Structure formats: C-alpha cells, structure tokens
Amino acid sequence: MELVTTRYGQIKGRKKEGCYTYFGIPYAQPPVGELRWKAPQPVKPWEGVLEAKYFPHRAWQFVQEAPKEGQGINYAREFYSNPSFMPPMDEDCLYLNIWRPLAGEKLPVAFWIHGGALINGFGSELEFDGDAFARKGVILVTINYRLGAFGFMNTPEILAENGGHGGNFGSLDQIAALKWVYENIESFGGDPNRITIFGQSAGAMSVQTLVSSPLSKNMVAGAIMQSAGGYQTGFLRDRSVEEGLDIGAEFQRLSGAENLAGMRQLPPEKIMELAGQMMGYCFQKGYNLPFMPVIDGYLLEKGYNKVVEDGETPDIPYMIGSCGNDMGVTPEMIERGGRSQLYYGCINWSLKNAELGRSPAYVYYFDRKLLGDNSGAFHSSELWYVFKTLDRSWRPKSPADYELAERINSYWANFVKTGNPNGPELPYWKPCSWDSHHVQLLDVEK
C-alpha cells in the first residue's frame, strides 16, 4: 500500500524491506507570513498525489556545536554529525513522517515527540527510525513542530489575536499533528484508538503537557515519558502568562519592532539571533528555559503537579524513566549511590497514580555506560536502544549492546500494543507500586 487516501488527498510513499514509509506529510498550513505566531491552521486538501518520499525541513533552531572539553555531552557529534540527516531549516516545518508494517490492519500507533529543550531537534534525526517498530507490528509517527521564539512567543497582540490564549504554538502544533493522526491513521492501517504518545527530554515534557491538557482528550491511549516527565521532579516548571509576557516584551524591545506586524517582518535569522540573546535574560530572571508553554486556561488550565494531584490526567497506561547520568546527576551523587530528583519524580508519578486508585506506571532506569568515552548513561543515550539504531552511532558496541537494544525496543513495542511492556523471553517488568517501588534496570548483563 504505497498509495493511501487520506481526508486531504492521496499520498504515495515507498516500500522498504521491512515497512512502508511516508515522509514529509503536511498536518497544518505553513506557519509563515500572517500565520507566524498563530495557532496551526488545518491543512488544505491537495489535488493529485503527494509524493511523500523525503524528510521535511526542520524548524528553525540553534546549530549544535561541540562543547568545550569537559563541559557537557557532545550532542553535535552524537546526533547531528551526518549531513544526510540534516535537512534545511524553514518556518514551513509542520510535517510528520510515518513508518508502517508491510501487513496488518488496526495496528497500534507510536507517536514520537522529539526533544531538544524546545529550541532544537526534529523528527528525522539520525537516531530515530521506525523500521524496528514496524517489524514488531507497530506504526511509528514522528513530527516536527515550531521551536523557540517561533513556537512559544507571548505579547499582548499575540494573545488578542488568539482569543486571549497564550502563545503555546509549539504545543498546539503537537496537538494538531496528533489530531491529524487520529483522523487519518486508519488510511495507513492504524487504529486511532490505540495511539501511544512518547518523547524524551523536552519531548517528555511535551507528552506531560499533552496529558495535562483538555485539548488532547480521548486521543491518547498510553504515554511514555523519557527523562523529563513525572510528579514533583524539580524539572517541569509552571510558567504563568505574565512571565511569558515579560519574556515577550523583552524580545520585542530587542527586536526594535513597534508592534506584532513589525515582528512578523523580521527574517527568521534575526529571530534566531534575538532568541540567543534572550538566554541570558531568562536565566538572570530565574525563568530557566526562555521558551516553553504557559498556563493560559486553554492549553493548560493549571500547573503540572496540580493536574496530577487532582487526578485530571488521563487514566491510561504510563511508562516513565530516566538515565544513570541524566540531567541533575553529579559525580558526587553517583559516588554516594544517590539518585537525581528526576529519578524519584518518576517513582512519585507512579505512586501518586496508585494512590488515586489508578494502575501504577512501569518505571525504568537506563544505566548502560556507553562505550567510546566517559559520558556514561548520559541524557538521551537510551535513544539508540529505543529505536534500535545502534549501527548509526559512532560509538563502539558489544554484542550485549545489540541484545539490550532488542530488549528495550521490544518492551516499548509491547507497551504500545497492550499498555504492558512484558512479553515472551523478556525479563519480567513489575509495575512500580506502593508494595515494591520497583524500577526496572535497563543495562547490559554484567
């Protein structure tokens, strides 16, 4: 089924050895010109056949550079070193990619939201691929969405144009993509009632935003949060509209534009330059990330922890976890056998759900110290294993790494299929309950 028919028109993909692929499918109108800093608009139907054979442009973002020695992970080398996986940047970026098995109907769907601090990343990065999921009977969808100043800008004029709602455009893009999948995935053999959303880092923050929002209600059957989501993690921050407006006011002041119309005339390169200048301002003010969702009463009605406490997240299966050398983990902490607040926030999420009479979550701890340097089980390191793309990594691997990748990819695929990661020939994974506080260790066998 290289050719499929959606609500918006026909799409032609490619047949590979293990799956069909459909790359660069538009899920909303290009957010350019007058649509810059507006909520995503429904995509217009097209005539003829859309050739969905190439990855789309990525959203405007900062260019990854290698850190100074000893000052962080070299993500430029890790994920952004292969030019063939680095599409050009463009404001016209609201597209998604689909990998589906060669056969089957009513297939479960894994909907991936990339990370990158909400200022970087894209759905076709080197480490992402749907081939392994497709071979296990799962459709994978990856998306691009607006980032940084393009995705999370607030000014009085922007709020007025958007019905008083905050400038949560990046999050609204994610929901628009989810809705597109919900309404069209049957054309690809998928089941709209079996969509599991998952993401890592800012992608996990985005997953928690979506399950905290009334706008994604009834479209999500399960959720996986990797290295960011949770309850009382010390990681997620509630941002008020007032704080967002303060950041927007400083941005507009730096731009020299008198109004929103003037800001819309700025070339994207200028917006990126100003976004870089905003980093110092936001950290000086204690705002942490310069661009992130605001609690506006529409996308988010209350803070992240409050939504959990009030039992207003969907009562669905959850998987959640972190890495051994994740953000917030210090050498001193590891030396004394401690864990980060993020680690405990994952356990807290499960126990709070159990306290509310819901099923506890499946909690994991990825602690494979990757070969090749002393970065350890660093933030994002599990991605090579989740997508089973180790062969694309520059790092040395052992046979045990490939076994671990198969195990992790199987756990994730099983969870998408059934809400439970367990399956034949896999080490049994108990939920994290009040009785056990169980956390599944994901590592090579010692």
pLDDT tens-digit readout, 320-358: 999 999 988 887 887 777 788 899 999 999 999 999 999
Average pLDDT in the chain:
95
Total residue count of the chain as it appears in this document: 446
Helix (H, G, I), strand (E, B) or coil at 357: coil
d(CA 11, CA 2): 8
pLDDT in the model for residue 66:
79
Beta bridge partners, 440, equal: 364
Of 206-215, 227-236, 244-253, 421-430, give the lowest mean pLDDT range.
Answer: 227-236
Closest CA to 198 of 408, 353, 432: 408
pLDDT in the model for residue 233:
86
In sequence order, what E strands does 107-215 have?
107-113, 139-143, 190-200
Residues 6+ apart with CB under 8 A from 264: 33, 34, 36, 37
**More confident call, 82 vs 331:** 82
pLDDT in the model for residue 70:
64
Q: How many CA atoms lie within 13 A of 365 on its CB side?
A: 19
* Sign of the dihedral defined by the CA atoms of residues 98, 103, 109, 112, in that order: negative
Q: Residue 285 pLDDT > 60, yes or no?
A: yes
d(CA 230, CA 346): 5
Look at the block and give the residue holding tokens 């902490």: 333
Summarised one tens digit per residue, pLDDT across range 241-278 is: 999 999 999 999 999 999 999 999 999 999 999 999 99
d(CA 291, CA 313): 24
Q: Residue 446 pLDDT > 60, yes or no?
A: no
According to DSSP, residue 187 is labeled G
Closest CA to 255 of 234, 273, 231: 273
d(CA 363, CA 170): 28
User: Helices (H) and strands (E) in the chain — how many of each?
Assistant: 14, 13
Closest CA to 197 of 325, 42, 320: 320
Summarised one tens digit per residue, pLDDT across range 401-438 is: 999 999 999 999 999 999 999 999 999 999 999 998 99
Q: Residue 115 pLDDT > 80, yes or no?
A: yes
Summarised one tens digit per residue, pLDDT across range 131-151 is: 999 999 999 999 999 999 999
Q: Is the pTM of this model over 0.95?
A: yes
Mean pLDDT of 89-96: 98
Summarised one tens digit per residue, pLDDT across range 37-65 is: 999 999 999 999 999 999 999 999 998 78
pLDDT > 70 in the chain, percent: 99
**More confident call, 288 vs 387:** 387
Kindly state the tokens that stand for 56.
């789309």
Closest CA to 196 of 60, 319, 332: 319
d(CA 226, CA 243): 27
pLDDT in the model for residue 339:
87
